[in-house]
Amino acid sequence: MNIVLIVGLGLVGLAVLVWLYAAKSYKPTLWALGVLLSISPLSVATIAPAAGNDTVFKAGILAMIVLLWLRFGIRLRWPVGLMLAAFLFALAVSMSGLVPSISVSAGFAAKAFSGYFLTMAAAMIRWRREHLPSVLQVLVAAPVVSLVLGVGFQASGRGWAIIGDGRLGGALIGPTLALLTTAAAFAAVTGIMVLGQRKWTVWLLIDCGLAFLTLTRGALISCGIVILALGIWTFRARRTTSSKTVNAARLVFFSSLAVAAAALPEILARNVGNAYEGSFNTSGRDQAWPFYLSLSEHSPALGRGLGFANIANALLHPVGVQSAFESPHNEYIHFYVDGGLALAIPFFVGLIALVVLVGRIQHRRMLALGILGATLFYCYVDNNFSTPQFDVVFGLLMGALLAGRPDPDQQTERTRALERTVMVPSTPRVEPSSTDSTEPVLR
C-alpha cells in the first residue's frame, strides 16, 4: 500500500509540474514555491506520512526553482558564483576519498549539497525588474500562509498544533517560522524602500508580529536591525518617495520601539541563566559550540565533510550537549565543520558581496546594511542557510533585486502587450498629383 501511495503521489506531483510548466503565467509556480516554504514535512506527515519527508520537500522546492529557470533563464553574478564554487569544492573534497579527515560517504555529502544549493539556485533565477512586486508579495505572505495552513492541520485532529511550547509555529515549528518571518520582513522592508508603497508597511507589521509570537530572540533582534535601518532611511529619503509611505514607515519604526520596550522584560526573562549555563541562557549553545569547534581542529582547512555537522551529535554523544542540537545553531561553525575555512570564508565573503552589490544596483545603502547586519547576526545563533524557509526566501529576494532597473533599450512585457492591443493611427499617405503641380495631395 505504501508503494502504491508513493507512486500515486509521484504521478500527482508530475502532473502538477507539467501543469505549472504549461501555464501562461509564472505566478502559479511562484505561489506553489511559497506554499512549500510555508509548511513542514512534520505537519504534512500527520495527514500523509508518505509525503512527510524532508528530501521530498527539498526536491519539490528545487523543482519549482528549475521551472522558473526554464521560464526566465539563469543569471549567475560573481558573488553567487563564489558561494557556489565554495560548496562545489567542499563537495569534491567530501567525495574524493583522498582526505583522511572526511567522515561522510559520497552519497551523504551529495545529499547535503543539494540542500545547501537551494540558496544559490534561488538567487540565480533571471528575474526582470517588473517581477519584483510579485516576488515580494509571495515572500511577505508566506508566514500568513503557514499560519492558515497550520490551523487547517490542527483542525484535522491528527495531532498537529500551531502553538508548541508556548511558541507560534503555524504549519512549521516555532524556530523555523521565526526564520521565515525574518526573511519575509526583509522583503517587506524592500517593498517600502525600493517600491515606495505603503502597503508593505502593513506586511512588515504582520511579519514582525508573527516573529514576536515565535518568542525567538534571534528573529526579534534581526527584525529590529532591519527596522532600525528603515527608520534611518525615513529621515534620509528623497522627495521622490511618497510622503505617505515615509510617514507610515516612521510610524512602524516608532511603534517597534514601543513594542521592544514592552517586550524587554520577557526577553530578559528568557536570558536568565539556568542550572547548567550560569548567568545567561544560551539554550545550550555554550555547551554545543565547543564540541562542534573541536570536530575540525585536526582539519581546519577542509573540515569533516558536507553534512557531518548534522550527524555529529547523534553519532558521538558528547557529554553535556543536548540531543536537540542536530546542528551547531551557528552557521559560521556549521560551515567550518562541514568544509573548513575553504568553505566558510568564501561563502561569507560572497554573501557580503552579494548584499552590497544589491544595495549598489538599487541605490539603497541602508537596505543593504540592514539586511546584511540582520543576516550576519542571525547566522551567529541559528541555521539560516541550512533551512529553506530562510535561505530560499533570501535567495529569491536577492535574485529579484539583482535584476535592477529595466534596460531602456529593451521593451518590457507590458509595453509589448500595449503595442499588440492598442491601434496606432497610421500617418497620411502622400501621393503625387495627377496635375502638373508639384504640391502633394493628401488622401
Q: Tell me: the pLDDT tens digits for 243-260? A: 888 888 888 888 888 877
pLDDT at 130: 92
User: Rounded mean pLDDT of the chain?
Assistant: 86
Domain membership flag for residue 143: yes
Whether 95 is covered by a domain: the verdict is yes
Number of H helices, E strands in the chain: 18, 4
Cell digits for 86? 565554495
Cell of 391: 535561505
Split at pLDDT 50, 70, 90, the class of 442 is very low
CB 49 within 8 A of CB 305: no
Residue with cell 499617405: 429
User: Which of 32, 33, 34, 39 is CA-nearest to residue 54?
Assistant: 39
In-domain check, residue 148: yes
Closest CA to 288 of 278, 277, 298: 277
Residue with cell 511558541: 167
Report the C-alpha dihedral over residues 255, 256, 261, 266, rounded to 10 degrees. Answer: 130
Whether residue 127 contacts residue 403, with contact meaning beta carbons closer than 8 Å, is answered with yes
pLDDT of residue 9: 67
- Give a yes or no: residue 426 inside a domain: no
pLDDT at 271: 65
- Give a yes or no: residue 440 inside a domain: no
Range 339-366 average pLDDT: 96
Residue 71 domain flag = yes
Structural domain range at position 45: 2-405
Cβ density class 69-99: b for 16+ within 10 Å, e for less: eebbeeeebebbebbbebbeebbebbbeeeb
| Closest to 187 (Cα-Cα) out of 400, 404, 403 | 400
Tens-digit pLDDT profile for residues 253-282: 888 888 777 777 766 666 665 555 555 667
How far apart, in Å, do the first and last CA atoms of the chain sit?
79
Grid cell at residue 87: 560548496
Q: Give pLDDT, residue 241.
A: 66
Contacts (Cβ under 8 Å, ≥6 apart) of 392: 33, 37, 61, 65, 118, 119, 122
Cell reading at 368: 543593504
- Alpha-carbon distance 193 to 234, whole Å? 9
Q: In this structure, is residue 62 part of a structural domain? A: yes
Distances (CA, A) of 316 to 1, 110, 174, 284, 303: 37, 22, 27, 17, 16
> Residues 132-180: pLDDT tens digits?
999 999 999 999 999 999 999 999 888 899 998 889 999 999 999 999 9
> Which of 35-39, 115-119, 215-219, 409-413 bottoms out in mean pLDDT, i.e. has the lowest?
409-413
User: Which one-letter DSSP state was computed for residue 130?
Assistant: G
Total domains, the chain: 1
In a domain, 322, yes or no: yes
Residue labelled with grid coordinates 546542528: 327
**Which triple of cell numbers denotes residue 22?**
504549461
Cell of 128: 526582470
What is the C-alpha separation between 151 and 160, in angstroms, rounded? 9
Residue, of 441 and 389, whose pLDDT is higher: 389
Distance of alpha carbon 50 from alpha carbon 41, whole angstroms: 10
Q: Which residues are registered as beta bridge partners of 431?
A: 441
Q: Which amino acid is at 97?
A: G
The tens digit of pLDDT for each residue in 371-380 reads 999 999 999 9
